[in-house]
A and B are shown apart, each in its own frame.
Chain A
Amino acid sequence: DVKVTQSSRYLVKRTGEKVFLECVQDMDHENMFWYRQDPGLGLRLIYFSYDVKMKEKGDIPEGYSVSREKKERFSLILESASTNQTSMYLCASSLLAGGYGYTFGSGTRLTVV
């Protein structure tokens, strides 16, 4: 069974901390994505990657960065966490672009206090 695993289910961090959210997929997918999910706003794309060491900004990249050193791992970094980054973060991977065959992780609920 294909899997996208997010390392933490819940995180509580302090304002100003550097935060790492990890995502690992075991499907040999080229494409990986980070979304944030907020009530009433749906999912919004933060960053995505089509290949190792490659990254592209999504719709809301401000305050975030990413790292993809290995094909299976895509990390989201909050350089200096702020309270407005409190949210649910979802990682996804896919073999093809354009929505085909997206597999999502279970999400990380981050609270910044």
Chain B
Amino acid sequence: ELKVEQNPLFLSMQEGKNYTIYCNYSTTSDRLYWYRQDPGKSLESLFVLLSNGAVKQEGRLMASLDTKARLSTLHITAAVHDLSATYFCAVVDSNYQLIWGAGTKLIIKP
């Protein structure tokens, strides 16, 4: 059974700092997603990572995937307040369903 572990679950940081969210998963998968959720809003897809060594970047967010380590990271560079949200990773299992991490609530203080 595929399990997805995300950490930290809560992160409070200052604007301008860098930080990384980690997503570990327990069994082989060929696809990993990162989503963002703003309070009271729906989930928005950020990145899909398909292969070992894949790196995707948009603005101050960069996601990478190491399939051998079963690890994905979401790196935030020079954080700004607008990036405050909850971030989820989700991994596709052998039944083609998404298995979700618990989410990381990110608060960026001015």
Contact = CB atoms under 8 A, between A and B. Distances in A.
Interface of A: 4, 40-45, 48, 58, 90, 97-100, 102, 104-107
Interface residues of B, number: 21
A contacts with B: majority SS: loop
Contact of B42 (A40, A98, A106): A106
B12 interface: no
Interface of B: 4, 6, 9, 31, 33, 40-43, 45, 48, 88, 90, 92, 96-98, 100-103
A60 to B, nearest CB: 12
Contacts of A45: 97-98
B33 A43 contact: no
Nearest first, the 8 A-B pairs at minimum CB distance are A42-B100, A98-B96, A43-B100, A104-B42, A97-B96, A104-B43, A42-B102, A106-B42
Interface centre among B4, B9, B98 (most CB of A within 10 A): B98
Given A40-B102, A99-B90, A102-B43, 7 more contacts: A42-B100, A44-B100, A45-B98, A98-B96, A99-B92, A99-B96, A99-B98
A107 B41 CA distance: 8
Nearest to B32: A99
B31 A98 contact: yes
Nearest to A41: B102
A41 B88 CA distance: 11
A110 to B, nearest CB: 15
